Amino acid sequence: MKEGICKEDLLEELHQAIRSRISEASRILDEVQESVDSESQSTAGDKHDTSRELMQQERNKAAQNLQNQMAMDGLFITLKNTTHSKVITFGSLVLTSIGWIFIGLPLGKLIFNKIDVLCISGNSPMAKALVNRKVGARIEMNNMSIEIIELK
Alpha helices, DSSP H, located in the chain: 7-38, 46-80, 125-130
pLDDT at 39: 67
Quote the CA–CA distance of 120 and 90 in Å, as a whole number. Answer: 10
pLDDT at 1: 43
pLDDT at 77: 84
Considering only CA atoms, which of 97, 92, 101 is closest in space to residue 132?
Answer: 92
Query: How confident is the chain (152 residues) per 10-residue block, as mean pLDDT?
Result: 79 94 94 78 60 85 93 87 88 96 95 96 96 97 95 94
Residues making up the chain, counted from first to last:
152
pLDDT at 44: 55
pTM of the model: 0.81
Q: Please report how many Cα atoms fall inside a 13 Å half-sphere around the Cα of residue 84, on the Cβ side.
A: 6
pLDDT at 34: 85
